[in-house]
């Protein structure tokens, strides 16, 4: 299936959709550093570094899905919260893409502030515009007046392009991401193709920071990745105490003016506090270990903080593929490594991610061979794995 990616950022959503089986037709992104990151990890010829308002959607041809994360400052709890009055509100451009390309479906992500009561009317307007994208707003008309018109539309009598739209606030920690990160997902399926969308089911257990980055502490310095560079200056202040090492991370944020706050610090069991490295933040956002993020530490953290966790994006992508192909919901990867992947040590998990030839059956056998047991069905507790499994993959895959 093909996809057009809008407001791509550094590519978290795009990478997840790629892992789910989508082929990207184009990326449209304004930020130069994010575009550089995209070119490092995808086909550079597909990256369009420009204002989306000037982009010709017809130039990409037919696509099955339009996806992206419209800029969130207009709705962010930490921003000015101007919503429709904010010139950074790009939902109108997302709607224009739907209107012009008529994809089978769309997938958009945004901050949970979108569901604030103060934005209720405008959020309703967004949902109705996405539902009836052919019903454009006349020049000079206010969005509130247009909202009244949209609310009076009878779907049975409406002859234009229509989508069945659903939305849900999801916490990434419930889908295999070692981070508490609540975001709103908006999904639409074109009504004439008669398919049903099913939200993914949460996976058992919650991964911690320690399980995700703990292998770095025992890796020889010469073998550490180049983006694992310690940045000094971390300090605690009211509201910014860091994330506990033995728990899922707090939400990694871009921060005001690109400067990350306390959510991007790690608090270790001995009480020490330090900033996450780029590599650590990248793994907590479930990017592949070899994914390149361009720019300085502050710029890279801004990109990572704005990204959709790759694993959650992949989960949503697989559900999209399942819906459009008529196969129902697929909340777990479909190539057989679901349980083995989630419960294996991080080195083996990275091996599975980095090598396409390393299939689920191989992973299952490797874990079982070293004495692995099945995960407990209650409480979400994780079982220990033999050190030999970790040692086997630590040197060549991390």
Catalytic site positions: 72
The β-bridge relationship of strands 163-171 and 182-190 is antiparallel
Within 231-285, where are the H helices?
278-284
CA count, 13 A, side-chain hemisphere, 278: 20
DSSP class of residue 242? -
| Residue 334 burial class via C-beta count within 10 angstroms: exposed 0-12, middle 13-18, buried 19 and up | middle
Report how far residue 185's alpha carbon sits from residue 107's, in angstroms, rounded to the nearest whole number. Answer: 7
CA distances from 253 to 217, 319, 391 (A): 24, 26, 33
DSSP class of residue 140? T
Show the tokens assigned to 155. Answer: 């779907």
DSSP class of residue 240? B
CB 310 within 8 A of CB 283: no
Q: Tally Cβ neighbours within 10 Å of residue 298.
A: 14
Long-range own/partner contacts, residues 385-392 (CB < 8 A, 24 or more apart): 385/343, 385/344, 385/345, 385/348, 389/344, 389/345, 389/347, 389/348, 390/215, 390/345, 390/346, 390/347, 390/348, 392/347
What DSSP string describes 293-328? --S-HHHHHHHHHHSPPHHHHHHHHHHHHHHHTT--
CB 34 within 8 A of CB 53: no
């Amino acid at each position: 299936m093909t996809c057009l990616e809008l407001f791509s950022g550094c590519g978290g959503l795009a990478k997840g959709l790629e892992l789910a089986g989508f082929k990207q037709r184009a990326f449209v992104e304004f930020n130069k550093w994010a575009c550089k990151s995209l070119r490092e990890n995808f086909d550079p010829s597909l990256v369009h570094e420009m204002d989306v308002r000037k982009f010709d959607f017809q130039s990409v041809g037919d696509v099955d899905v339009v996806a992206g994360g419209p800029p969130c400052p207009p709705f962010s709890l930490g921003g000015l919260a101007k919503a429709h009055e904010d010139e950074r509100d790009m939902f109108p451009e997302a709607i224009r893409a739907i209107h012009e390309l008529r994809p089978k479906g769309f997938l958009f992500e945004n901050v949970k502030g979108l569901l604030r009561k103060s934005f209720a009317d405008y959020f309703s307007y967004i949902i109705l515009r996405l539902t009836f994208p052919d019903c454009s707003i006349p020049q000079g008309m206010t969005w509130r007046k247009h909202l009244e018109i949209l609310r009076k539309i009878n779907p049975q009598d409406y002859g234009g392009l229509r989508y069945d739209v659903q939305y849900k606030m999801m916490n990434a920690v419930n889908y295999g991401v070692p981070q508490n990160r609540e975001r709103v997902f908006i999904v639409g399926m074109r009504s004439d193709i008669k398919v049903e969308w099913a939200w993914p089911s949460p996976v058992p257990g919650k991964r911690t920071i320690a399980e995700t980055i703990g292998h770095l502490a025992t890796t020889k310095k010469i073998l550490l990745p180049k983006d694992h560079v310690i940045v000094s200056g971390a300090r605690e202040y009211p509201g910014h105490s860091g994330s506990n090492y033995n728990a899922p991370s707090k939400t990694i944020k871009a921060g005001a003016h690109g400067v990350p706050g306390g959510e991007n610090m790690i608090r270790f069991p001995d009480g020490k506090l330090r900033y996450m490295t780029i590599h650590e933040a990248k793994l907590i956002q479930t990017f592949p270990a070899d994914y390149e993020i361009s720019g300085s530490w502050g710029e890279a953290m801004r990109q990572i903080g704005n990204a959709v966790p790759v694993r959650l994006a992949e989960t949503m992508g697989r559900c999209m593929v399942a819906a459009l192909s008529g196969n129902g919901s697929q909340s777990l990867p479909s190539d057989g490594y679901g349980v083995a992947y989630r419960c294996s040590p991080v080195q083996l998990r990275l091996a599975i991610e980095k090598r396409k030839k390393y299939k689920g059956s191989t992973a299952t056998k490797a874990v079982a061979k070293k004495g692995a047991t099945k995960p407990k069905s209650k409480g979400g507790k994780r079982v220990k794995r033999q050190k030999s499994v970790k040692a086997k993959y630590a040197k060549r895959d991390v």
